[in-house]
Amino acid sequence: MIEIIPAIDLIDGRCVRLSQGDYNSQTTYDAAPLDVALRFADAGVRRVHLVDLDGAKASRPCNLHVLEAIASATDLDIEWGGGIKSREALLDIFSAGAHHAICGSVAVRQPDEFRTWLAEFGGERIILGADVRQGKIAVSGWQEESLLSVDALIDTFLPDGLTEVICTDISRDGMLTGPSFDLYTRLQSAYPKVTFTVSGGISGMDDIRRLDALGLPRVIVGKALYEGRITFDELRVES
């Protein structure tokens, strides 16, 4: 069964969701991040996806207190993205309790640094965040676009031990319109030794079951959970 990874996106220490990465289209939810994480853990979730949206804009982690609280109160396997632009930031998020670091901007702008991290910490802990808009990689909290394609970015680091990629289709993120099935099946077929995590557009359990049938190993779910399109009972059964 495909692994479902719930997302907690953070601004000012609170749970939020954006649409298509637009900070002006923010929805803030009442539940505290720790309470949400505890509910995920109770539902049998093993891994949670934390995104520091403040950190993505500030180029440094800004919500480490939330990470520390969740790591202290749960046994969840935590993957963290946002603001990891330096070795100091990388060590900070690991010290605060993250098990995995999701790196996008640094892989594009400082590829040699990213290679060093892969060599030191391994491909299981250092995850490539490949965020795609109109076929090109976007960086800095999706505020800027590069000239790289997702394939070119992956090809750059395959010889260096890259094994995990979280690929987000920004055009679908937070839109509840379904994921880019063709994109993910193509990538998984092209790079069979890489574990791909689907991100963006999940509208309900039917999308997840289709991804599972297609052989995709992992999927991140955000807005569909917060909007009640996927219930915690369904999450408990499927996890």
Burial 180-214 (b: 16+ CB within 10 A, else e): beebbbebbeebeebbbbbbbbbbebebbeebbee
Q: Give the contacts of 148 (CB within 8 A, at least 6 positions apart).
A: 108, 136, 137
SS3 at position 10: strand
Q: Which two tokens stand for residue 196?
A: 């791909």
CATH of 3-238, one of 1.10.579.10, 3.20.20.70, 3.20.20.60, 3.40.190.290: 3.20.20.70
Task: Tell me the C-alpha distance between 114 and 103, whole Å.
Answer: 8
Burial class (CB within 10 angstroms; exposed 0-12, middle 13-18, buried 19+) of 25 = exposed
Q: Give the contacts of 139 (CB within 8 A, at least 6 positions apart).
A: 104, 105, 108, 109, 131, 145, 146
Comparing C-alpha atoms, which of 160, 156, 154 is closest to residue 194? 154
pLDDT given for residue 168 in this prediction: 93
pLDDT tens-digit series, residues 182-195: 999 999 999 999 99
Active site positions, annotated: 9, 131
Q: What is the mean pLDDT of each run of 10 residues along the chain (239 residues)?
A: 95 85 73 93 96 93 98 98 96 98 95 98 98 86 80 98 96 87 97 97 96 98 92 81
DSSP secondary structure code for residue 19 in this structure:
E
Task: Tell me the C-alpha distance between 225 and 187, whole Å.
Answer: 26
Residue recorded with tokens 């939020």: 16
**What is the DSSP track for 115-148?**
HHHHHHH-TTTEEEEEEEETTEEEETTTTEE-S-
pTM: 0.93
pLDDT given for residue 237 in this prediction: 67
